[in-house]
Homo-oligomer: A and B are copies of this chain.
Amino acid sequence: MGLVVQKYGGSSVADAEGIKRVAKRIVEAKKNGNQVVVVVSAMGDTTDELIDLAEQVSPMPAGREFDMLLTAGERISMALLAMAIKNLGHEAQSFTGSQAGVITDSVHNKARIIDVTPGRIRTALDEGNIAIVAGFQGVSQDKKDITTLGRGGSDTTAVALAAALDAEVCEIYTDVDGVFTADPRVVKKAQKIDWIAFEDMLELAASGSKVLLHRCVEYARRYDIPIHVRSSFSGLQGTWVSSAPLTKQQGDQKVEQAIISGVAHDTSEAKVTVVGVPDKPGEAAAIFRTIADAEINIDMVVQNVSAASTGLTDISFTLPKTEGRKAIDALERNKGGIGFDSLRYDDQIGKISLVGAGMKTNPGVTASFFEALSDAGVNIELISTSEIRISVVTRADDVPEAVRAVHSAFGLDSDTVEAVVYGGTGR
């Protein structure tokens, strides 16, 4: 008998009907001889409604109380789900993050899991129960305060529990059929990926793919927990994410799709250019120390070749649009210390990334990528590469056409258009 961890997002349990449908699916897994642990997000719009209430009473809700508020959402969905399962004749018990032993640091609204001690879950399973666990939440180690894990928190809860319970698989149920070779809203001929390695999935997540978040994949890779991303609305096999193919079929696919896993894009970033920086040691460090002190994460960094005549250079970097104002303010405040002429800010950019472990040993990939973009008439503004990824920044308007061109050039187009549904809460 195996142990399976399943995670259902807010769109899968949006109403009573959704909860009953999910309950049936959980009972099926139990009937198939598994011990089942279920991680559940808040119902549909619950979180947004709670945030709205918070904003009505306070313009700047405190982190501790905000977490206390938001965790009510999972409390509701998990209790209802346990009731629905019991109504189908199976035993179920629900547990808060704290009860499930999800121990975090004390950074409210975006806490990190530092330990999982699932003693009560283990007991509940041994007594024949299906265990339902609130996603997205934990309890802080030092103060015993309720914390939330931030974006993608429920996925991370599921993977962390799977690791602590030594589960066979962590199934992430969502409203799409799996991970695709490109966003199907942009590329109609995108294909579902049957299997993908952790490393490629990490790069796709870092490059804008929204199905799984980087942090959840990172956690799964560290503990080598296979993830199965699949739809809660269909019975189809989804995408397996693991260190190596788990079946012959997945192995075959690995050979076939050796070079490229997929094309990701991201239009949520902006570009900051620091103009007229003296080309001497310590200048870049001063800029990025300023940004880091403002607690802003940056993505790509490019330094232009210095113009010999002036001894000045430009440094560009990309960052989330939501952090743009903060970055500009921080740099302006420290203008004297850093030493630069001016700042340029551009939020009309997009990023296209090609991801695949195979490109390490296939030198032609970079050239083919640039040729495809050139043929589509797309101008490249910045370039950044890793061992298994190439990313370029273009005009935001060029992104859809660029993604389609690259997807086609690398032979990823499907012969048929696959149907998918989009939505979801990001928890």
* Nearest CB in chain B: distance from A172 CB, A: 23
Structural contact, A76 and B50, CB atoms closer than 8 A: yes
Report B-chain residues with C-beta under 8 Å of the C-beta of A19.
57
Specify which of B61, B73, B83 is in contact with A62 (CB 8 Å cutoff).
B83
Q: Decide if A80 is an interface residue (CB 8 Å cutoff).
A: yes
Report B-chain residues with C-beta under 8 Å of the C-beta of A78.
68
Query: A69–B78 Cα gap in the complex (Å)?
Result: 8
List residues of A (80-137) whose CB comes within 8 Å of B's CBs: 80-84, 86-87, 92-94, 99, 120
Report B-chain residues with C-beta under 8 Å of the C-beta of A64.
93
Structural contact, B76 and A72, CB atoms closer than 8 A: yes
Q: Decide if A79 is an interface residue (CB 8 Å cutoff).
A: yes
| With A68-B75, A69-B76, A75-B71: A16-B83 Cβ-Cβ less than 8 Å | no
* Nearest CB in chain B: distance from A90 CB, A: 12
| With A57-B19, A75-B68: A62-B82 Cβ-Cβ less than 8 Å | yes
List residues of A (38-70) whose CB comes within 8 Å of B's CBs: 50, 53-54, 56-62, 64-66, 68-69
Query: A71–B96 Cα gap in the complex (Å)?
Result: 12
Structural contact, A94 and B68, CB atoms closer than 8 A: yes
| With A16-B53, A71-B75, A80-B53: A65-B94 Cβ-Cβ less than 8 Å | yes
Report B-chain residues with C-beta under 8 Å of the C-beta of A395.
none
Q: Decide if A144 is an interface residue (CB 8 Å cutoff).
A: yes
Q: Decide if A210 is an interface residue (CB 8 Å cutoff).
A: no
Report B-chain residues with C-beta under 8 Å of the C-beta of A56.
16
Annotate A343-363 by CB proximity to B: 1 below 8 A, 0 otherwise.
000000000000000000000
Query: A65–B78 Cα gap in the complex (Å)?
Result: 8
Structural contact, B68 and A87, CB atoms closer than 8 A: no
Specify which of B54, B62, B69, B84 is in contact with A75 (CB 8 Å cutoff).
B69
Structural contact, A59 and B75, CB atoms closer than 8 A: no
Structural contact, A59 and B76, CB atoms closer than 8 A: no
A69, closest chain B residue (CB): B79
| With A57-B80, A58-B86, A76-B69: A99-B144 Cβ-Cβ less than 8 Å | yes
Query: A260–B92 Cα gap in the complex (Å)?
Result: 54
| With A66-B79, A79-B66: A84-B57 Cβ-Cβ less than 8 Å | yes
| With A58-B84, A83-B61: A53-B76 Cβ-Cβ less than 8 Å | yes
Q: Decide if A20 is an interface residue (CB 8 Å cutoff).
A: yes
Query: A56–B17 Cα gap in the complex (Å)?
Result: 8
Query: A364–B69 Cα gap in the complex (Å)?
Result: 58
Structural contact, B72 and A86, CB atoms closer than 8 A: no
List residues of A (296-328) whose CB comes within 8 Å of B's CBs: none
Structural contact, B76 and A58, CB atoms closer than 8 A: no
* Nearest CB in chain B: distance from A132 CB, A: 9
Structural contact, A72 and B69, CB atoms closer than 8 A: no
* Nearest CB in chain B: distance from A109 CB, A: 13
* Nearest CB in chain B: distance from A3 CB, A: 22
A67, closest chain B residue (CB): B79
Report B-chain residues with C-beta under 8 Å of the C-beta of A82.
62, 65, 68
Structural contact, A57 and B20, CB atoms closer than 8 A: yes
* Nearest CB in chain B: distance from A371 CB, A: 56
A52, closest chain B residue (CB): B16
Which residues of A line the B interface, CB within 8 A? Answer: 16, 19-20, 23, 50, 53-54, 56-62, 64-66, 68-69, 71-73, 75-76, 78-84, 86-87, 92-94, 99, 120, 144
Known: A59-B87, A68-B78, A72-B72. 16 other contacts (CB 8 A): A16-B53, A16-B57, A23-B57, A50-B76, A54-B80, A57-B80, A58-B84, A65-B79, A65-B82, A65-B93, A66-B79, A68-B79, A68-B82, A71-B75, A72-B73, A120-B144
10 sampled A-B residue pairs with Cβ under 8 A:
A50-B76, A53-B80, A54-B83, A58-B84, A62-B83, A65-B93, A66-B79, A68-B82, A72-B75, A72-B76
Q: Return the 10 tightest CB-CB contacts between A and B, nearest first.
A: A16-B56, A69-B79, A68-B79, A58-B87, A58-B83, A72-B75, A57-B84, A72-B72, A65-B82, A65-B79
